[in-house]
Amino acid sequence: MPPTALAGILKTLSTALRDVPEDIADPIVEFTAQGLGKHPAKHLRRSLVAVDLSFCKSYLVEEIRDEARAEARVEAEARRAAEDVLAVLAERGIDVPEDARERITGCDDPQTLSLWLRRAVTAPKVEETFE
């Protein structure tokens, strides 16, 4: 099933469950979340969190929300680190070709980006930031 179709189904399910008593809605949400947890495309679990499930208070829904928040923090940290690398290179007047910019902004590993940041402080060329 395409991710967009699944996201649409989840949104419809969320809307339908809004007016259902919590003791009925919670097991449905948990069952759905467990099923999505086994799906090969991990990001589809985030679709369940993205829809409005604020009315659900079950432990599994909270666990999914916590996991999504943690992933979002890691992504934000990587995005900030990539911006820092680019800012140092720009401040030093080092040209950053598009392929290097994409490599930096596409990196999602905070440790690698931290290493690149330290190298960007002294590297005479952007390529040496990656060595």
Domain encompassing residue 49: 3-57
Q: Please say if the pLDDT value at position 28 is more than 60.
A: yes
Asked, for residue 64, whether it belongs to a domain, the answer is: no
Both 19 and 49 in one domain: the answer is yes
If you average pLDDT over residues 100-120, what whole number do you get? 93
Both 124 and 83 in one domain: the answer is yes
Number of folded domains that form the chain: 2
Asked, for residue 65, whether it belongs to a domain, the answer is: no
If you average pLDDT over residues 38-61, what whole number do you get? 53
Asked, for residue 49, whether it belongs to a domain, the answer is: yes
* 64 three-state secondary structure: helix
Both 32 and 77 in one domain: the answer is no
Q: Please say if the pLDDT value at position 101 is more than 80.
A: yes
Q: So what's the pLDDT on residue 114?
A: 93
Both 84 and 121 in one domain: the answer is yes
CB atoms near residue 129 (< 10 Å): 24
Q: What is the pTM of this model?
A: 0.53
Both 84 and 42 in one domain: the answer is no
Asked, for residue 68, whether it belongs to a domain, the answer is: no
Asked, for residue 67, whether it belongs to a domain, the answer is: no
Both 47 and 80 in one domain: the answer is no
Strands (E), the chain: none
Report whether 96 contacts 86 (CB < 8 A). Answer: yes
Asked, for residue 100, whether it belongs to a domain, the answer is: yes
